[in-house]
Amino acid sequence: MKINCKKQEGFTLLEILLVVAAIAILAGIVIVAINPSKQLADTRNAQRRANVNTILNAVYQYALDNSGTLPASIPTSSTCSTTATNEVCVTDGTCTSLVDLSVITASETYLTSIPTDPTGSTTNGAGYHIAKSSNGRVTVCAPDAEQSATISVTR
């Protein structure tokens, strides 16, 4: 009498569970190492730096074209970010209690529109502040910068 024993092919449930657990552990390590929230915050801060420079460049281009005269709406202040009335108004927004820089967006000569904070959490304010010193130096800053970053440019 001959016994026919077939060898079963495939994986056992235990083997499959061990592989899934190992993949889950490796995925967890990779996600922690990459730290997506930090990467996203760094990206938003990079956009803020670019926007601060864009606003300041437009203000100074306006001044160059107007015999060195800065836009009259820029407040004189020793601090940029702590004064709420230093916030720049967005293009076509209601600029009550905000800095109206519509002279640099008029006819799209210097800017087509005022850049806004990447979080988009503002309504009429752009999320950027501007001030000039008593000596006429202009500072543009981003008070909502993440990860304790200080984003401010003075010229």
* pLDDT tens, residue by residue, 80-110: 877 778 999 987 668 888 999 999 998 899 9
For residue 110, give the nearest of 49, 50, 54 by alpha carbon.
Answer: 54
Structure confidence by residue, pLDDT tens digits, 140-155: 999 999 999 999 999 9
Residues in the chain: 155
Query: How many angstroms separate the Cα of 136 from the Cα of each of 22, 32, 78, 132, 150?
Result: 62, 47, 11, 6, 22
pLDDT of res. 48: 96
pLDDT of res. 124: 83
Q: Which residues contact 129 (CB under 8 A, 6 or more apart)?
A: 80, 81, 83, 86, 87, 88, 99, 140, 141, 142, 143
**What pTM does this model have?**
0.80
pLDDT of res. 1: 62
User: Quick one: DSSP state of residue 124?
Assistant: S
